[in-house]
Structures are given as C-alpha cells and as structure tokens.
C-alpha cells in the first residue's frame, strides 16, 4: 500500500473527514440552533462547542421523542448556597438525534486521559466522533492544562488520544480526532504531528495560527502542505482551519495545499449560507438567514440569551435592526421587531416555556434565574468578560456609541 492510498480505517459509526467542509467548534456560536442552521445550508459536519470533561461527568441523558432532542443534564452544584430542591436541571449538552445523526462531532476539553474517557463514554453512542481540543488559547480552556496548553505537554496529549482510541473506538465504533495550532517552527509542528498521527486517530485539524495569534491576524499556511503530507503518510485525514470564508474557497484551498477538508468558523458565525457554493446561491441576504435561525431557535427552545447573542453576530452592525433588537428581552419582542408575524404564536409559547415574560420585561422567577446562571456546562459566571466582549463586538462591527449609551446597550445585549 502506498502512502497516497493508506488510510486509517474509519469505524462503522464514524465519519471520514475527507472532502468535507465543516463548522468549527465555537463557544456560544456552536450551540444547537447554530449547528442546525449550518447543516441546512450545506455544512457536511458540525462540531459542537468545547465541553469540559468534568462538566459532562455525572450528567443524565434524556430523550424527548416529540422534539427528537437529546439532552445531558445535571443538578446545579456550583456556588456556596444550596440550590432549591425544585430547581430545574442544568443542560450541559444537547443535540438533535435525527438532523445531526452521523454529522455531529463532540469536542471535549480535557487534560486527563481517565476523565476524557469517562466523559466521552456518555455521548459516544450518539455522536459521529470525539475531538480533543488542543488549540483553544483562551484562559477558560488553558487554565487547567486544556486547549492550547496541551501543545506544551505532548506526552499528555498523546496519552489522552491513546486512551480514547483504546476505550472508545472498539466499543462505540467512532473515530477520535484532535484539533491543534501551529508551533513556533515548522520543525516543532512536524515533530508534534508525527506523534499525534501515530496514536490511532482518524483525523487532525490544524488551525493555521500559533497560540498567541488572534483571529484578526492572517492565518499562516506555509506549513500546511508539510502537515498534510505527514498525515497522509499515516493515513490520517487532515483538515485546515483559519480564514476559510466559504465552500468555493475551501475547495480551492483543499486542492492548493493538499489537505483533505476545511473548517469554517468566523464566516459561518456571521452568515451560515457560506456553506453553499456560488452555484447553489452563495451567500444569502442576512435577513433571510436570520429568519431561518430564529425558526430553529424556536423549534429547539434555545436559551434566549444565546439566541440574542447569535442574532448580534448575524445582523450586520450598521443595520437598523441591530440596534432595534438590543432592548428586546423575549422571543415575542424579537419577532415583533423583525416583522416575523407568522412566528409570534410559537415565540410566545417558547417564552412561557422558558419562563420569560413575552411582553418584554424579561423577568424570571428566582429559581429559574438561579438555574440559568449555573447552566451551560457548569462554567463560572463571566458577566464581566461577557460585557467586555459585547463592547468589543459593538466596536468591531462599526457601532459607534458614547460610553454611557454603549454601557446601556451592552447590558441590554447581555440581558
């Protein structure tokens, strides 16, 4: 068998990353309705947001036959105060059992082989693959040795991958993959990739930036062909990530650099119709994409705060609608503001299900507010960082405000 034809066998319940243009794992922007939107417009596979192993461990799986949604939930346990006895469970992870079948990759945040296996076993029967995050440079990921911190601990990273391959692949018959960043030199990157592809993984995604680089800095593609060649020698699929704007460009880059697939992040966050080819219609108007997103958000009863955050990515900052939705505190008000009259009945219904005042006060009872604050993977409250992020988003999207009005608008966006 030549190096050109060699392939690590893809388990029968897994997927081959070759020839695929996929949605990147993104915190907040990778929740269920966003993934359904990407699939609707042609994404071949979707990655869920990084989910920390300790958040998954101890969850209970439940399936809703009416909505076809699978949820992994747990009782809130963070904080000094004991939660009320009748508090709702926190939803840690959710997926659509039919629309995401064989298309969803679960990305795990971990720095411990045993915990990685324990967490992966909880979702492995329902997803198409397990991906280890070894590329996120943000503090919430790296502080415990996860994410990009693993690039400095190759022995640990390899041990995690080997443990997953040994304990997940035979039982659940899905593939294991890893997402990394470039190291300081091509030689260091090559040495790491050679170790990773020898662990038994079926796929490797490389974000073409180094750990210190930010999204505004142009991706570095000079090492891509070398990485692709190393992966091909081992029979491992190689996916590129970084400044991929649409499917047509992705296919050109795949040919140019000899990689097997491409991952889209920021462009998909702004307009998921980027997964369409130009022949299929290409990039659609933002209002058409927004309406489709809201329909999915209502269908799966998505957390309102997450929906509003995504709308602020999908609606261009200079559009009047961007400012108009800022004071909205319910799905009903969002649909009224955007003129989606046919969705009003469902919006009001979802507001009531989520214990939100449809008329716009946004008030919840105490126990629901408590549950909401502790949900989303058991992560610590990040209101300060969230406020800062929204202010940054406003600036980057061309929205000019005085400090006073910006503060008010920021708080509205976070409501």
Q: Which residue has better confidence, 259 or 367?
A: 259
- The pLDDT of residue 309 is 97
Distances (CA, A) of 137 to 27, 28, 300: 13, 16, 30
Residue-wise pLDDT for 108-132, tens only, equals 999 999 999 999 999 999 999 999 9
Region 301-329 average pLDDT: 96
**Rounded Cα–Cα distance for residues 223 and 208 (Å):** 8
- The pLDDT of residue 400 is 39
CA angle 212, 214, 216 (to 5 degrees): 150
- The pLDDT of residue 386 is 38
Q: Tell me what the pLDDT averaged over the chain comes to.
A: 87
**Rounded Cα–Cα distance for residues 242 and 234 (Å):** 23
- The pLDDT of residue 6 is 79
Q: Tell me which of 46-50, 100-104, 344-348, 359-363 is least confident.
A: 359-363
- The pLDDT of residue 86 is 64
CB 244, CB 264: distance < 8 Å: yes
User: Above 70 in pLDDT, residue 69?
Assistant: yes
Could you give the 3-state DSSP secondary structure of residue 276?
A: coil
- The pLDDT of residue 163 is 98
Q: What are phi and psi of 178, to 5 degrees?
A: -145, 145
- The pLDDT of residue 414 is 33
User: Above 90 in pLDDT, residue 405?
Assistant: no
Kindly report the pTM of this predicted structure. Answer: 0.85
CB 305, CB 278: distance < 8 Å: no
- The pLDDT of residue 368 is 42
Q: Considering the chain, what percentage of its residues have pLDDT values greater than 90?
A: 78
- The pLDDT of residue 89 is 87
Model confidence at 66, in pLDDT bands (50, 70, 90)? Answer: confident
Q: Which residue has better confidence, 369 or 262?
A: 262
Q: Considering the chain, what percentage of its residues have pLDDT values greater than 70?
A: 83
User: Above 90 in pLDDT, residue 401?
Assistant: no
User: Above 80 in pLDDT, residue 361?
Assistant: no
- The pLDDT of residue 5 is 58
DSSP code per residue over 179-205: EEEE-SSHHHHHHHHHHHHTTT-SEEE
* Residue-level length of the chain: 415
Could you give the 3-state DSSP secondary structure of residue 22?
A: strand
- The pLDDT of residue 81 is 62
Using alpha carbons, select from 379, 378, 377, 20 the residue that is nearest to residue 177.
20
Q: Which residue has better confidence, 269 or 398?
A: 269
Residue-wise pLDDT for 201-214, tens only, equals 999 999 999 999 99
Model confidence at 384, in pLDDT bands (50, 70, 90)? Answer: very low
Enumerate residues 6+ apart whose C-beta is below 8 A from 65.
none
Which domains are assigned to the chain? Answer: 21-280 (3.20.20.70), 286-414 (no CATH)
User: Above 70 in pLDDT, residue 187?
Assistant: yes
User: Above 50 in pLDDT, residue 312?
Assistant: yes
Region 341-365 average pLDDT: 87
Model confidence at 143, in pLDDT bands (50, 70, 90)? Answer: confident
Region 8-28 average pLDDT: 96
Region 284-300 average pLDDT: 98
- The pLDDT of residue 407 is 34
Model confidence at 83, in pLDDT bands (50, 70, 90)? Answer: low
User: Above 80 in pLDDT, residue 395?
Assistant: no
- The pLDDT of residue 396 is 43
- The pLDDT of residue 225 is 97
- The pLDDT of residue 404 is 35
Please list the active-site residues: 136
């Amino acid at each position: 068998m030549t190096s050109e034809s060699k392939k690590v066998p893809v388990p029968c319940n897994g997927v081959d990353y070759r020839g695929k243009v996929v949605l990147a794992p993104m915190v907040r922007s990778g929740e269920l309705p966003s993934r359904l939107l990407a699939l609707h417009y042609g994404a071949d596979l979707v990655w869920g947001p990084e989910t920390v192993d300790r958040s998954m461990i101890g969850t209970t799986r439940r399936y809703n036959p009416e909505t076809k949604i699978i949820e992994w939930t747990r009782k809130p346990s963070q904080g000094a105060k004991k939660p009320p006895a009748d508090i709702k469970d926190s939803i840690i992870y959710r997926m659509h059992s039919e629309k995401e079948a064989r298309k969803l990759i679960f990305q795990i945040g971990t720095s411990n082989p045993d915990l990685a296996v324990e967490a992966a076993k909880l979702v492995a029967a329902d997803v198409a693959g397990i991906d280890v995050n070894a590329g996120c440079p943000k503090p919430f990921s790296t502080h415990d040795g996860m994410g990009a911190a693993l690039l400095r601990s190759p022995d640990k990273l390899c041990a995690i991958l080997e443990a997953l391959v040994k304990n997940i692949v035979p039982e659940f018959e899905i593939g294991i993959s890893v997402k990394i960043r470039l190291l300081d030199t091509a030689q260091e990157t090559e040495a790491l990739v050679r170790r990773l592809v020898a662990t038994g993984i079926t796929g490797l995604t490389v974000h073409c930036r180094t750990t210190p680089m930010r999204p505004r800095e142009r991706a570095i593609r000079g090492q891509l062909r070398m990485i692709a060649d190393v992966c091909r020698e081992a029979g491992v699929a190689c996916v590129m990530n970084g400044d991929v704007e649409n499917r047509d460009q992705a296919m050109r880059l795949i040919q140019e650099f000899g990689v097997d697939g491409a991952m889209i992040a920021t462009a998909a966050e702004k307009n998921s119709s980027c997964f369409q080819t130009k022949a299929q219609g290409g990039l659609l108007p933002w209002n058409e994409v927004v309406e489709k997103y809201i329909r999915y958000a209502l269908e799966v009863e998505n957390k309102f705060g997450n929906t509003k955050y995504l709308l602020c990515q999908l609606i261009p900052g200079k559009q009047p609608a961007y400012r108009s939705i800022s004071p909205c505190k319910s799905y009903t008000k969002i649909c009224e503001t955007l003129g989606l009259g046919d969705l009003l009945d469902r919006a009001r219904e979802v507001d009531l299900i989520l214990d939100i005042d449809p008329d716009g006060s946004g008030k919840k009872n105490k126990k629901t507010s408590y549950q909401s604050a502790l949900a989303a993977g058991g992560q610590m409250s990040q209101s300060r960082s969230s406020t800062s992020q929204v202010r940054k988003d406003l600036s980057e999207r061309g929205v000019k405000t005085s400090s006073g009005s910006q503060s008010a608008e920021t708080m509205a966006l976070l409501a």
